[in-house]
Structure 1
Amino acid sequence: MLFERRAYTLRPGCEDAYWALHRKYNRPESLRVLLDRNIGFFATAAGDSDRIVHLYRWDSYDDAKQRLAALITPERADYFVAARKLLLRQENSYLDHAPIAELSPLWNDKLDWLPGEPVLAGAGKADDLAISESVLDFLPGGVAAYWESFRKLNTATTDIFRSRLIGCFVVTVGSLHRIFTYHWHTSWPDAEALRRQLAGLPDWDALMEDNRPRIVGGQVTNLRPSPLPWMRALFESSN
């Protein structure tokens, strides 16, 4: 399996127009080839403004190319022309899931979730959920040491970290030595409570202190699921 993160920076104030285009042109029946591998579309709630993030789980690079190519048809030309007028920048990265099963609860040696049955259907109303996207950048070689630090955490701390974890991913094509981590939360106060809980644990503090010399940057972006039900497969059926 292969994962892809796409980030679209919109012209200021164009988010509503972006979703309106999807409502008009990208209903489930016309987008099925993509939705069958789409983890979710997300919009920035706080952080880099006017940004849309797409996450995909492809069977392979060829699978990604074939599915995306199938959407580029003369009938969809009006959509692409209109959508490109809203964009300032597009960034793409290919990712692998974390090599530790606890850090990739949906995709690992035993599990491979695909859109269909929402895996987090009981999380609450999707419109109210908060998604945190954490990015850590490391010196070359630092990612392997970071994974090894996780393996040394006690079970209680690991369980807290993964309590609402969607997954950890490492970049394989794009800005290398970078890890993306996604958690879902019932609210932003809930997200802050998890951060504070982890910060108060001695072995978590030791993990971060051990890795600090290898970390060269990082940020957390607050996201919210797409307002369109068929573009948030983790939480709702795309049918």
Structure 2
Amino acid sequence: MLIDHRTYRIRPGCVQPHLDIYEQHGYAAQTRHLGKPVAYMFAESGDLNTIVHIWAYENATDREKKRAAMAADPEWRNYLKLNSEAGYLENQVTKLMIPAKFAPIIR
């Protein structure tokens, strides 16, 4: 299994508007291609203005195939346009990770 762990830094005061755009315009398209996320969370304490979402794939080929299909989806491209125009995203860090054998991801 391959885990795609993404951390997004959002402009202060814009976490909820960012989530609203995603919920209204991005979530359906993304989950149609990737399935449900393992987790989709925002910080309540610590590094505020941060959103973390985690996706699970069978392997790198599965991830590449699913993300290519999503990238070609007009609904997803519209979401990316709206998200870019809003300007809420400051930074993104993506980590591809492999679960330890003693703590597998249960899906």
TM-score by length of 2: 0.82
Cα distance in 1 for residues equivalent to 2:64 and 2:88: 23
Consecutive unaligned residues of structure 2, counting only runs of 5 or more, are: none
Instruction: Indicate the residue corresponding to 1:57 in structure 2.
Output: 56
Maintained 8 Å contact 2:26/2:76: no
**Where do residues 90-129 of structure 1 align in structure 2 (5 Å cutoff)?**
90-99=92-101, 101=102, 104=103, 107=104, 113-114=106-107
User: 1:123-168 CA distances to partner (integer Å, 9 max, x unpaired)?
Assistant: xxxxxxxxxxxxxxxxxxxxxxxxxxxxxxxxxxxxxxxxxxxxxx
Moved over 3 A (4+): none
Instruction: Indicate the RMSD between aligned Cα atoms, in angstroms.
Output: 1.8
User: 1:143-199 CA distances to partner (integer Å, 9 max, x unpaired)?
Assistant: xxxxxxxxxxxxxxxxxxxxxxxxxxxxxxxxxxxxxxxxxxxxxxxxxxxxxxxxx
Name the structure, 1 or 2, with higher relative contact order (CA <8 Å, separation 6+): 2
Cα distance in 2 for residues equivalent to 1:76 and 1:3: 21
Consecutive unaligned residues of structure 1, counting only runs of 5 or more, are: 115-239
Instruction: Indicate the residue corresponding to 1:67 in structure 2.
Output: 66
Cα distance in 1 for residues equivalent to 2:27 and 2:97: 27
Instruction: Indicate the residue corresponding to 2:76 in structure 1.
Output: 76
Instruction: Indicate the residue corresponding to 1:195 in structure 2.
Output: none
TM-score by length of 1: 0.40
Tell me how many residue pairs correspond in the alignment.
103
Instruction: Indicate the residue corresponding to 1:35 in structure 2.
Output: 35
Identity among equivalent pairs (%): 23
Which residue identity is paired with 1:48?
D
